[in-house]
Amino acid sequence: MIAPSLEFLVLAGVGLPAVLWVGIAGASLVDDAIRERLIGVTCRLVFLAVALALVTATALSLVFGSGTTELIHVGRWFGAGDHAFELRLLADPLSLSFASLCAVLLGVVAAFADRYLHREPGYRRFFANFALFAVGILLIALAGSIDVVFAGWELVGLASALLIAFFHERPSPVQSGLWTLTVYRVTDLGIVGAAILAHHYAGSGAFEALLGPSWPAGPSPLSSGEATAVALLLLFAVLGKGAQVPFSGWLPRAMEGPTPSSAIFYGALSVHAGAFLLLRAGPLLDAAPIAAAAVVVFGLLTAVHATAVGRVQSDIKSALAYASLTQVGIILVEIGVGLRWIPLIHILGHASIRALQILRAPSLLHDFHRLETAVGGHLPRTGAHLERILPEGLRRRLYYASLDRWRLDGALQALFVRPFLRLTAALDRGERWWGEVIGGATIDEGISSAGAGGGSPGLGALRGSPAVATRASGVLSEETASEVAARTRSELSKVTSSEVARAPDDLSGETSSEVAGRTRSDLSGETSSEVARAPDDLSGETSSEVAGRTRSELSEETSSEVAGRTLVDLSEETSSEVATHTTLEPPPDLSEETDNLPRARPGAADV
C-alpha cells in the first residue's frame, strides 16, 4: 500500500528540478535582471525538497516494501504504429539508492554553488544548466525503460558541455566543452543503437522486457546473441559518459568548469552514470559473457591508465579526476565479474567522498599551507608503494607516457577527427569548384582541413594535449613573440578601473596576498624545464591553485624565460585577471611564507 506514496515522491523528485529549469529559463526570457538571491533561495529549497522526497521514498521502500520493485507508469508520451514512448519510472533498491545519492549531492552542491558563484555574471546560467543536469541524472537513475534513460542521457550530455564551458570568455573551457560534447555525441550512438535494438528484439524498451522482472536476478528474456549486441552498445555509451579508456581525455578537460560542476561531473554523478547503467543492465551481462569480459577489460585498462596518469598530476583537481577514474574502472571490473551489490555500495561511497574532496579542493591548499608552515617543511609523501613494485625502466617509461596522459586524445584526433576533417575539406573543395562552374564566382569560406587553430572553436583545435596546453601554446602558433608582446601590452592598456575592482571576485576565492604572490617579480628563477612543463601543469587549475605554486617552485627561472611565459599566459587571461597581475604588488611579509609552500603531491589524492 506504499505504492501511491512512492509514486508521488518519485514524481516530485524528478518533476521539481524540471519545474525549476522551466522557471529559470522562462524568467530569463522575460526578465534579464532576475535577482540572484531569488534564484539561490529557490534552488536550495527545491533541491532540499528533492532530497527529502527521494530519501523518504528509499526509506519507505526499504522499510515497508522490503525493497521490492515498483513500476511507476506515468503514461504514454507519444506513439504511432507499433512504436510508443512510454514514460516508465522504476522504484527499486538500485534506482532509489542512486537517485537518493544524486538528490543529496545535488542539494549539497547547489548550496555550495550558491556561495561559491556569488556575484558571478553567469550565476543564473549556472543554475539553469545545473537544473537541466539534475533532471537528466534523475531520469537516468529512476528510468524504467531504455527510452527514458536515453532522454536523461541527452540532457546530462548537453548540460555537462555547457557547464564545462561556463567561463566562456576564455577559449580553453569552450574547446573543452565542445570536445566533451563530441565524445558524448559519438558514444551516445551506443545507447541509441541499444534502444533501437531493444525495441527490435524485445518489442519494447521497457526494462522488464529487456532485463527481466526484477533486479539483480533478471533473467533477461533476450537470447545470448541479442543480449551481447545490446550490452556491447551500452558499453560503448558507458565508455564515453564514464570517461573510460580510450575516451578518458574529456574528464581532466572538464576541470575547466567551476568547482561545483566539477564535483558533479568527475567526482560524483556523471562518471558514475555509466557504471550505474551497466549495473542496471546486469541481467544482460549475465546472458552475454563476451560483453561482460569486455566490461572487465575496459575497466582494468582504465584503472591502470588512471592510476598511472593520476600519479604525475601536479594539480589537485587533475589528481582527483584520475583518482575518480581509477575507482570507476574498478567498479566496472566488479560489474563485469558478476558482482551487483558491492559495485552499488562502491558507487555510493566513492561518489560521496569524491564530491567532498573536490568541493574542498580550493581550500585544501590553504590547509596544507598552514600545516607545512607549522611543521616547518614538506609533509611526507604518501601513495608511492605501488610505484616501488615496478622495475626502474618501466617506471620511467610509464612516467613519461603518463605525463602525456598516454596521448589518448591525440590518438583520437589523429585517427578520427583529422582524417574526417580532411575528407570533408576535400569534399568542400569539390563543392566550391562546382559552385564556381555554375555560379561563376568563388565561394571563399569552406572547411579548413587542419581544423581551426588552437584558440578557435573547432574540433581540430585540440591537439591531443590537455585543453589548457593549447591555452599557452596554441595561441602562439601563428604569432611571433613580438606580436604577442604587442598584443598583450595593448590588452593591458584596455583594463579599466572597474575591471580591476572586480578582480577579486573573478579569481574564485583567491586572496589578495596569494594574488600578490603571482607577480612577475616573484617568478625570478624558474628553470626552463619547468617552464616547458607549465602548460600541462596548468590544465584545469583554478587561480587559487595556481597561487599555490609560488616562489619556492619558481625559484630558478631566468628573467627572460619568465617574461616569455608570462606573456603567453597573460594572452589568454581575462582582462580582469591581467589587471590583477599588473596592479597588485606583493606584500613584504609574504616572502618568508612562500618559501614553505607545498610542491605538487602526485598521488596524494589517489584512491
Site residues for another protein, window 58-87 (CB under 8 A)? 77-83, 85
Q: Cβ(109)–Cβ(264) under 8 Å?
A: yes
| Closest distance of CB 441 from another protein, Å | 4
Cα four-point dihedral sign 508, 512, 517, 519: positive
Residue 121 vs 349, nearer CB to another protein: 121
316 CB-contact burial (10 Å; exposed 0-12 / middle 13-18 / buried 19+):
buried
Q: How distant, in Å, are the alpha carbons of 69, 112, 162, 466, 593 from that of 168?
A: 44, 21, 9, 17, 34
**Is residue 36 at the binding interface for another protein, with CB under 8 A as the rule?**
no
| Collapsed DSSP state (helix, strand, coil) of residue 78 | strand
Q: Cβ(302)–Cβ(587) under 8 Å?
A: no
Per CB under 8 A, the segment of 54-62, 357-365, 451-459, 562-570 that binds another protein is 451-459
| Closest distance of CB 438 from another protein, Å | 5
- Of these, 15, 23, 67, 122, which contacts another protein (CB under 8 A)? 122
**Is residue 434 at the binding interface for another protein, with CB under 8 A as the rule?**
yes
Footprint (CB under 8 A) of another protein, residues 243-302? none
Per CB under 8 A, the segment of 52-60, 214-222, 360-368, 419-427 that binds another protein is 419-427
Residue 165 vs 269, nearer CB to another protein: 165
C-alpha cell read off for 119? 556575484
**Is residue 29 at the binding interface for another protein, with CB under 8 A as the rule?**
yes
| Closest distance of CB 84 from another protein, Å | 9
| Closest distance of CB 45 from another protein, Å | 23
Residue 178 vs 268, nearer CB to another protein: 178
Distance CA 19, CA 45 (A): 13
Per CB under 8 A, the segment of 108-116, 155-163, 356-364, 559-567 that binds another protein is 155-163
Task: Give the closest residue to 133 by CA, choosing from 108, 166, 160, 172.
Answer: 160
**Is residue 375 at the binding interface for another protein, with CB under 8 A as the rule?**
no
**Is residue 188 at the binding interface for another protein, with CB under 8 A as the rule?**
yes
Distance CA 429, CA 445 (A): 10
Distance CA 581, CA 567 (A): 11
Footprint (CB under 8 A) of another protein, residues 192-231? 192-193, 195-196, 199-200
Per CB under 8 A, the segment of 9-17, 111-119, 217-225, 450-458 that binds another protein is 450-458
Q: Cβ(467)–Cβ(172) under 8 Å?
A: yes
**Is residue 240 at the binding interface for another protein, with CB under 8 A as the rule?**
no
Q: Rounded to 5 degrees, what are φ and ψ at 596? A: -100, 5
Distance CA 254, CA 3 (A): 40
Q: Cβ(595)–Cβ(551) under 8 Å?
A: yes
Residue 150 vs 406, nearer CB to another protein: 150
Residue 290 vs 425, nearer CB to another protein: 425
**Is residue 19 at the binding interface for another protein, with CB under 8 A as the rule?**
no
- Of these, 458, 504, 525, 564, which contacts another protein (CB under 8 A)? 458
